[in-house]
Chain A
C-alpha cells in the first residue's frame, strides 16, 4: 500500500490535480481491486452506519458493568436549554461523541473509527457538520476518504491501538482524521488538511490508555469529546492559515516513538493511571466480585 506518507499523498494530489479524497479512493481501488463505484458505495455505507448508530442512541441503556449510560441524555437536555458555555454547535458535537461512546459500551452497533473506543469522534464531527451546513451524503463520503487516508498513514507509520501506543493512538488518531475531514468539508486546501491533522495529533501526544477495570468506558467515553472538539478547533486554526511547525508525517512518527516509550502499565493493561486510582481500584474489585 502506498499510503505511507501524508506529504506523498499531498504531492500526488498536486501532481495529478485530484482532490486529496480522490487520491485515497484511487489507492483503495488499486489495493482491493474494486471499481470506483464499489469502493464509494462501501464508504458511503460506513457513513450511513455512523448516522444510524447516532440515531439509535438510547439514554436508558446502561453498560454491563453499570459504569456508563445516560450522560448523552444529560447533555441532550442541557443542549435543549440553549444556555451552554460553548454554544449549540460545539455542545451538539460533545453530545454526539458521548452518545456514541455510550452506545458502544452498551453493546449497540457502531463503526470502529479507527477503533471502537474512539468510535464517537468522527460521527460527532461529521454528522453535526452535515446537519449544520447541509452537506450532501456524497460530500460526507468524500470526507470519510480524507479521514480514512489519514488514518491509514497513521496506522502504517505508527499505530492505532491503545495496547500499542496508548490513547494518543486511538483518540489522537481519530481526532487527526476528523480534523482533516472537517477542513475538507469547509473548503480548505490539501495543505490545510495536513496541518489540521498535525495540530490535532500534536495536542494529544502522550495521552495514555488507562481504562478502569480494563473496560472501554472510563475514561474512554468522555475522551471522545476531547477528540471531537480538538478536531474542530484544529481545523479552524488550520483554515485560518496557521501551520504546524512540525511537519505532519513527523508528528505521526513522534506519536510512534512516544507510544513505544510508554510503559506497559499505560497501554491498555489496566495496571496504571486512572485504573489504579483508589476509586479505579474500588470499581475493578467490584467488577471482579460480580
Chain B
C-alpha cells in the first residue's frame, strides 16, 4: 500500500470497487486483447450483480473495454460510445461456487476473431485481480507488464520463456504456473519489470507446444 492508494485514485464515481475497479478490469481486458473488441458477453456475480447498475459498474466495464481508464469522464456515456465504435455487449449473471463478491466474467471477441475469456475481481480502492484467463487460473493485478503463455503441459516451455526474457535482459518480478492436469493445458503468468518486445512475443507464439501468448503492456 502506498500513499497514493490512500489519497487517490482520481476516478469517476461513485465507488472505487464498483466503478473504478470495474473500469480497470475492462481496461486490462482491452490491453490484453490488443485489438478492437467487437463482442462482449459480461457476467456479473455477487455485489457486482446486486448493486452494479446503481454504481455504474456496467458502464464502467464497457468504458474500460473501449480503452477508457477509471478517471475518464466519458464513462457515464460508454454505452452510447460503444454503439458508435461497433462494440456489441450484453450483461447477464455469472455463477461461481465461491468467488470474491465483486467478480465479473468476460467473454470477448476481437475484430480479427480473436477470443479471450477473463474472470476478474475488484478487491477495493480501485485495485483489481485477474483470476482466470481462458479457463485457466491466474493471479495478477495488472501493475506490471505481464506475459501470459498458454502451453501444453510438457517439459521445456518455462525454460523457453525465461531464457527469452534473460536474453532480452528483462527481470521477472513474479512468476506463476498453473495447469488443468498432468499433460493437459498449462499457463504461465510472468510479471516483468520491463516491456517484452513484440517480436519476442511473436517468436514465443510460434514455438511448438505454445498455444497462445497474451500480453498486458504498461505502455499507454
Contacts and interface: CB of A to CB of B under 8 A. Distances in A.
Interface of A: 1, 24, 27-28, 31-32, 42-43, 45-46, 49, 63-65, 103-117, 119, 122, 144-145, 147-149, 151-152, 155-156, 160-161, 163, 213-217, 270, 287, 290
12 contacts: A24-B3, A49-B10, A63-B14, A64-B54, A104-B13, A106-B14, A107-B56, A112-B20, A148-B6, A270-B50, A270-B51, A287-B54
A43 B3 CA distance: 9
Interface stretch (B71-79, B113-121, B132-140, B182-190): B71-79
A31 to B, nearest CB: 6
Q: What are the 10 A-B residue pairs with the smallest beta carbon separation, nearest first? A: A104-B13, A214-B51, A151-B6, A216-B14, A107-B76, A215-B54, A148-B3, A148-B7, A116-B16, A49-B10
A28 to B, nearest CB: 5
B1 A156 contact: yes
Contacts of A147: 7
B11 A64 contact: no
Given A107-B19, A109-B73, A31 B14 contact: no
Interface in B31-76: 47, 50-51, 53-56, 59, 71, 73, 75-76
B2 A32 contact: yes
B19 A160 contact: no
Interface of B: 1-17, 19-20, 47, 50-51, 53-56, 59, 71, 73, 75-76, 124-126
A43 B7 contact: yes
B50 to A, nearest CB: 6
B128 to A, nearest CB: 14
Contact of B3 (A28, A115, A163, A216): A28
A287 B54 CA distance: 8
A106 B54 CA distance: 10
Given A116-B11, A215-B54, A217-B14, 19 more contacts: A42-B4, A43-B7, A45-B10, A64-B56, A104-B13, A107-B13, A107-B56, A107-B59, A110-B10, A112-B11, A113-B7, A115-B16, A148-B4, A148-B7, A149-B3, A152-B1, A152-B3, A155-B5, A215-B55
A223 to B, nearest CB: 14
